[in-house]
Amino acid sequence: MSDKGEYKRDQNYLPDRITADGRDGWPVEPGRYRLVVARACPWANRAVIVRRLLGLEPVLSMGIAGPVHDERSWSFDLDPGGRDPVLGIERLQEAFFKRDPDYPRGITVPAFVDIPSGQVVTNDFAQMTLDMSTEWTAYHRSGAPELYPEKLRDEIDDVAQKVFTDVNNAVYQCGFARSQEAYEHSYRKLFTCLDWLSDRLANQRYLVGDTITEADIRLFTTLVRFDAVYHGHFKCNRQKLTELPVLWAYTRDLFQTPGFGDTIDFAQIKEHYYVVHKNVNPTGIIPLGPDTAGWLTPHGRENLGGRPFGDGTPPGPPPAGERVPELA
């Protein structure tokens, strides 16, 4: 927290990378690593989507923590006996402490964990998804899309950085602000960027190029949570997503694309934010709304052209143990 009451995200993550050549000591190997996520977390949601789109499920298993955590970190309370069935741990912090018994920073998802040693490899969420696209190529499914095409990387990076600063992180800066000045600054930054995104997407289906890229995935995981959480809980209330015609249609388009909406569990999302953030919602009451039926209504974005997966194909259905509840 800054001296002006502005929320400052700790971005010092474990920097190791899992790479094809193993230069950090962690070579890509099928079955060796476990991706630990939580359905509630937008940063983890990115990794879940990328893994689905690239078809890495057979070589990269996934552990799913429950939506509520305490100061001791995310726990595997959704699993039988409250333990991850592969790692055998109750809380993600155990993997961090295996790596460093005095680990001083936040225990965050997503995280790659080395199954043989039980140690966390990295929790650098931004690099993790890029590496899944560029370092795990030997294990991509046939028809996997190019989410980070080399010729578009500079533009993807530029757009993704703006989205991180002014949307992904700005909603938290609104919600966790400790002064009126800090809140209003973040609020204006957020909606200025949403207006910019609306203009950019008014005549093109995706953020960069004519296919889904990493930039779209990074924006989607915030927008899909907007009305359920950020509009009310974090006071991002100039408009709801459903009142922003271009962005509402854009997000529905992605939601209805295989690999996106089938990773979203609105109940877990709401439980996490409204229960864990006691400083924002001291009662812990979880709202019943909003109605989710609109997510499956026609969006019309196909009229802008574009090919969701480029020369690739949609992913198949999620594995049975990874399916989320269908919308009513």
Residue 119 has φ and ψ, to the nearest 5°, of: -90, 145
Query: At 35, is the secondary structure helix, strand, or coil?
Result: strand
CA 92, CA 37: separation in Å to the nearest integer? Answer: 10
Annotated ligand binding at 26? The verdict is no
Is 172 tagged catalytic? yes
Cis peptide before 245 (omega within 30 of 0): no
Structure tokens at 178: 């400790």
State the amino acid at position 93 in one-letter form: Q
Q: What is the CA radius of gyration of the chain?
A: 19
Strands 111-114 and 33-38 come out as antiparallel
Instruction: Please identify which of the residues 13, 103, 139, 172 carries the catalytic annotation.
Output: 172
Instruction: Give the H/E segment covering residue 99.
Output: helix 93-99
Query: At 246, is the secondary structure helix, strand, or coil?
Result: helix
**189, 197 Cβ separation under 8 angstroms:** no
Query: At 37, is the secondary structure helix, strand, or coil?
Result: strand
Instruction: Please identify which of the residues 7, 33, 41, 274 carries the catalytic annotation.
Output: 41
Structure tokens at 11: 């971005």
CA 42, CA 241: separation in Å to the nearest integer? Answer: 16
Query: At 1, is the secondary structure helix, strand, or coil?
Result: coil
User: Is residue 6 exposed (0-12), middle (13-18) or buried (19+ Cβ within 10 Å)?
Assistant: middle
**143, 313 Cβ separation under 8 angstroms:** yes
Is 236 tagged catalytic? no
- Tokens 């995935």 identify what position? 217
Q: Can you say which residues are annotated as belonging to the binding site?
A: 74
Which residues are catalytic, by number?
Answer: 41, 172
Q: Can you say which residues are annotated as belonging to the binding site for glutathione?
A: 74
